[in-house]
Amino acid sequence: MDLEFQGLSKRFGSVWANRDISLTVKPGTIVGLLGPNGAGKTTLLRQLVGLTRSTSGQIVIGGRTVVAGKQWVKETIAYLPQHPLALGDLTVEEAIRSSALLRGQPRQDASRNTEQLLEAFDLQALRHRQVAGLSGGEHRLVGIASVVVAPTPVLALDEPTNELDPLMRRRVWDFIDRLRNPDRIVLLVSHNVLEAERVLDRVLIMSHGQIRHDGHPHDLRGNAGDILTVSVTAPHDATRLAHDMGSITDRIYVHPPTLEFTAPRPEALTLLAAWLAEPGLISSVSVNEPSLEDAYLALRDSSEENTP
């Protein structure tokens, strides 16, 4: 069943968290919501699950309008919030199993799925620990497990890998990838563009409460413009090179003796040619086509410049 946002808006006082969001998400897709802090991503997910009342517009799933508190909505959407879940008094095992039971899973299935997730997320040693006493990363894993233990037709995940170490982030992304199902929609907010790229079927970039880009991750690179990422090493100190950057003032990183920047291809190549023409100025150079993260940053900056 399709998920539709129809003219959805939310205003807090004089500030629009999001405004006139209209889009349709088909089952079988994992959709990433990307954008800077304050872009309206979390508000959109909270509107979806009924935690934030919309100022106007509506959300429709399978032809039915989402109304907060309705039982069918609870059975259709599972939500992982940014902040700790409200199961702190339970043990890890109890929290995960109880979440499955609350979504209507038979006791035997709930126990089996709980055991599988304890193993998948390396939580066996913590199974009898109280959730409230866990570290931030451990708490996050229990939250993810509590959401996916009984996957619903719509999963809304807000920063699922926040506070996780690199190994566990990879496990979680692999698990999210396996959640792809012809009858399921996964919406996720993430700031880790490079990691999210490997599981996403569709990217929505939000800025100032509106969608600035909507498409496949591979399309984002082309839509963001023709840019290059250049890294140069100077024999002594790359700080001097930074003075030659001219109008290139964004995404410059100086780590003596290395300087790295991302810029439109003509500007990058012109600057690089000038440096190479001066003997001994730089000792090594690498030039790379844009990653999804580079393209995202360029498109985000363009949106910021064109927004009143």
Q: Say what the pLDDT of residue 70 is.
A: 87
Stronger pLDDT, 248 or 124, i.e. the higher one: 124
Q: Are 112 and 161 in contact (CB under 8 A)?
A: no
Q: Say what the pLDDT of residue 221 is.
A: 66
The DSSP symbol for 122 reads T
Task: Report the pLDDT averaged over residues 136-142.
Answer: 92
What pTM was computed for the model? 0.78
Q: Say what the pLDDT of residue 188 is.
A: 94
Please determine, for residue 146, whether its predicted confidence score (pLDDT) is greater than 90: yes
Q: Say what the pLDDT of residue 125 is.
A: 95
Give pairs for 105-113: CB < 8 Å, separation 24+. Answer: 105/149, 105/150, 110/149, 110/150, 113/149, 113/150
Going along the chain from its start, the domains and CATH numbers come out as 3-216 (3.40.50.300), 226-289 (3.30.70.980)
Please determine, for residue 306, whether its predicted confidence score (pLDDT) is greater than 70: no
pLDDT digits (tens, 9 = 90+) for 265-304: 888 898 889 888 888 888 899 998 766 666 677 666 665 5
CA neighbor of 186 nearest in space, from 29, 23, 64: 29
pLDDT digits (tens, 9 = 90+) for 207-235: 889 998 898 877 776 665 677 888 888 88
